[in-house]
Structure 1
């Protein structure tokens, strides 16, 4: 990826379009938002693959990310909780193992696991 400086931040072009990154939310995604989105996006993608492989019926998956930042350390992300809401059939008794596999196989979570505590919770809806 190539990044260039713009008037309001940094920009890169991707296959899907232009990605603007800025400290000012009015001009692009803030860097910490991209980090949180990477953790959530990777986790939910891995979970969906696992559910599909196990041939479990899932209608919907939503994930909410709550981040805990340390203002005394430049806003460092110290913890992220990913909360999954899963709507499907036959999931009872299987989700603990699926959550374990999701965390183990998400490259983004594994990339930051020594520096950021990532917790994952779920509820069946």
Structure 2
């Protein structure tokens, strides 16, 4: 990836479109938003694949991310809690819990930050 400086941030040109990144939301996505998004979406995608392999496909999934940042240490991300709302016909709570554990172990983004950001999760099943 190549990033070009702009007056208020940076831009990279990708096959899907341009990605504008800036510390100011008026000019692009903030870097912490991209990091949290990467972790949340990667986790969700892996979870969906694991559920499919367990023969418990979900018909819908939503994920929220609660973020704790440390202002005293460069406003770094210290904790992310992901809450999944999963819909499907044959979802069993105990198996979904196991699928969540498996998805954490197999998500490249979670594994990339595992020693620096505490990531926790919870879920609810909606029929």
Instruction: Give the TM-score normalised by the residue count of structure 2.
Output: 0.95
Q: Distance in 2 between matches of 1:38 and 1:57?
A: 22
Secondary structure of the structure 1 residue equivalent to 2:51: helix
Q: Is the aligned partner of 1:95 residue 2:65?
A: no
* Structure 2 residue matching 1:86: 3-state secondary structure: strand
Query: Which runs of 5 or more residues in structure 2 are unaligned?
Result: none
Residue 83 of structure 1: aligned partner: 83
CA distance in 2, matches of 1:73, 1:88: 42
Count of residues paired in the alignment? 125
**What is the deviation of 1:56?**
1.3
CA distance in 1, matches of 2:59, 2:45: 14
- Shift in Å at residue 57 of structure 1? 3.2
TM-superposed deviation, 1:83: 0.4
Deviates more, 1:53-62 or 1:41-50: 53-62
Aligned ranges for residues 102-117 of structure 1 at < 5 Å? Answer: 102-117=103-118
Deviation at 1:49, TM superposition (A): 0.8
TM-score, with normalisation over the residues of structure 1? 0.97
Report the more deviating stretch, 87-96 or 73-82: 87-96
Q: Note the C-alpha offset of 1:38.
A: 0.4
Unmatched segments (≥5 aa) in structure 1? none
- Runs of 4+ aligned residues of structure 1 deviating over 6 Å after TM superposition are none
Alignment partners' CA distance in 1, 2:42 and 2:57? 20
Quick one: distance in 1 between partners of 2:58 and 2:97? 16
Moved more, 107-116 or 90-99: 90-99
> What is the CA RMSD across the aligned residues, in angstroms?
0.8
Instruction: Give the conservation status (yes or no) of the 8 Å contact 2:51–2:96.
Output: no
**Residue in structure 1 matched with residue 13 of structure 2 by the alignment:** 13
